[in-house]
Chain A
Amino acid sequence: MSTETTTPVRVEDKLFQNRYLVDAGRPHITVTPHTVPSSRLLALTHVCPAGCYTQADSGQVEISTDGCVECGTCRVVAEPYGEITWNYPRGGFGVLFKFG
C-alpha cells in the first residue's frame, strides 16, 4: 500500500529521543528461564512499545530493560502466568519524561 512506510520502523530511533537514568546491573523486569517461549512471551517481541523483548537465535525470549518506558504492558500480558517478574525501577531511576 502506497500510504504506508515501506522500511521497517526502528523503535531505537524513537527511544533515542528520551531521557533515562539507567539503574545499571539492576533490571526491573526479568524473563523467567524457559526452553520454549509461550505465545505471550513471543507476542511481547512485537507488542512491547520499546522493543525491549527479543527472541534469541536459540528460541528463548530475552529482555533488555534499558529502553523501557514503564508502561506495564508486559506485566498485564505475562506476569500473571509467572513468565516474567515485574517491578518499577528504584525511585528516581528509569525513564524521565520531559513532556509526558
Chain B
Amino acid sequence: MANEKFDAIVVGAGPSGNACAYTLATRGLKVLQLERGEYPGSKNVQGAILYADALEKIIPDFREDAPLERHIIEQRLWMMDDKSYCGAHYRSEDFNEDKPNRYTIIRAPFDKWFSKRVVQAGALILCETTVTELVRDAHDKVIGVRTDRDGEAIYADVVVLAEGVSGLVGARAGLRSIPKPDTVALAVKEMHFLPRETVEQRFNLEGDEGVVIEAAGTITKGMVGTGFLYTNKECISIGIGCLISDFTESDQSPYGLLEAFKNHPSVKPLLAGSEVKEYAAHMIPEGGYKAIPQLFGNGWLIVGDAGQFVNAVHREGSNLAMTTGRIAAETILDLKTRNAPMTAHNLAAYKARLDESFVMKDLKKYKNLPKVLHNKHLLTTYPQLLSQAAQTWFRVDGVDKKSKENEIVKSFFRTRRVKGLLGDVLGMARGWR
C-alpha cells in the first residue's frame, strides 16, 4: 500500500465519512477509508434518529435494504419536574407515507450497511486501523496519513477528517483544538429490549410506526441537557446528556442521572420488564456555530461531528454529518474534474457550499442559543412552575377558575419577578431569532 497513491483518504467510517467515501467512489475516485473499530459502527453511538432526506440525496434507494427500525409518526416533547411531565405531542397519519421522513435506527447495524454500500461503490476500507498522524510535504500541504498498522505513510491528494467529536488526528496536527468542556455534552444511553408487541402496545403503535420522546427539565438536576426515549422494533433506546462543564461542576454522575430518569414515574412503566443489553456513552458537539473550527486547508477537509456539526436545538446531527460529507465529496470531485490542485484556496469552495446549505444557515440561526441555555431557570424553575400551573388548572377542588388563573399568573411573577421573566423571554427570543 505504501507505493499506492489514492485520490482521497477518509478517516473514519461514521455517517460523514461514509457519505463522503460513497460519493467519491461512485464517481470513480480511488478512495481509501480508515476505521479504528473492528467493524464500522463498533465505536459509534447515537440515539438514534435517521433523517431520510440527507441519506436520500446520497443513496436514493436506501429504503430497499437499510436496517431501519421504525418510521416516526409521533413526536413527544416533555418538560419534566420530579413527579410530572407537561407535554406537547404531535402525531399524524401523514407520517405513514410511502417514503417516511424520519426513522429510528440502531447505529452498529446501520453503519455496517452503509459501509457495505461504500465498498460496493468501489472504495477500499481498512478496519482495525487507527490513523496516528497526518503526513505533510515541504510546503506544509497534507499529502497522506500514518497509521498504527505499520507506521508507513499512505499518500493521497486530499485527506478528509471524519474522525468524530473526539478525533485525535486533527487536534494533534493543530487543525482544530480539543473541544472545550462547555461546547460538548456527555450522553449515556441504554438499550432496553422488550417483545415487539409490548413496544407497540405501550406506545400505541401499529406495524413499523414509532414514537420518540425528547425530555428536558429537572431530570438534568440544573445542568444544561436533555433526555430521550426512542422506540425501535424490539427495544427502546433511552439516554440522557448534559454539558461536560456542568457535569464537572456538579456532583452528579451520568449513570446516576440515567438511573433517575429511568425511574421517573412517567418513564418507569414504559421500560417495565425490559432486558438491558448495552450501556454506551458518547460526546455530542453542542457549541454550535461559534464552535465550528477551520474546516479546510492545504490538502484537508473536516466533516461531521469533528466539525461540531450538530444542531442541538433540533437534535439533528447525523443529517448534518451526511450532508457535510457529501458536500466535501462534491467539492473534491469538482476540483478533480477541473484538474485543480487540492489547495486551501481551492478547497475553500467546501465552506462556501456549506454556507449556502441548510447546515450553516441553521447553525447560524441559533448561534447565540448555547449562551441563553446556560440560564438555569429554563430547566429547573420553569418546569416546576409549569407543572404547578397545570395541576392548579386541572384539579377540580371548588376553587373558582378566575382565582386559579390569578394564582397561576402570580406564581410566575412571585418566582421570577417581572425583571426575571422579561429577561428570560427576551433572551430566548434573541437566541431563537
Contact = CB atoms under 8 A, between A and B. Distances in A.
Interface of A: 1, 3-5, 8-9, 11, 14-15, 17-18, 21, 39-40, 43, 46-47, 49-51, 69-73, 75-77, 79-80, 86-92, 94-100
Contact of A72 (B46, B166, B259, B276): B166
A96 B112 CA distance: 13
Contacts of A17: 276-279
Interface residues on B, range: 35 or more
A100 to B, nearest CB: 4
Interface string B45-73: 11010000000000000000000000000
Interface of B: 36-38, 41-46, 48, 82-83, 106-109, 111, 127-130, 147-149, 165-166, 168, 178-181, 184, 186, 188, 190-191, 235, 244, 247-249, 251-256, 259-260, 263-265, 276-283
B253 A73 contact: no
Contacts of B46: 100
Contacts of B235: 99
Contacts of A72: 165-166, 283
A3 B235 CA distance: 24
Contacts of A76: 166, 178-181, 184, 244, 283
Contact of B178 (A75, A91, A94): A75
A71 B111 contact: no
B43 A70 contact: yes
A76 to B, nearest CB: 5
B243 to A, nearest CB: 11
B255 A98 contact: no
B148 A91 contact: yes
A77 B248 contact: yes
Contact of B107 (A49, A73, A99): A99
Nearest to A14: B279
A79 B178 contact: yes
15 contacts: A3-B264, A8-B256, A46-B253, A49-B186, A69-B282, A70-B166, A71-B281, A89-B36, A91-B36, A91-B127, A91-B129, A91-B147, A91-B149, A96-B38, A100-B108
Nearest 4 interchain pairs by C-beta: A72-B166, A92-B128, A100-B107, A49-B281
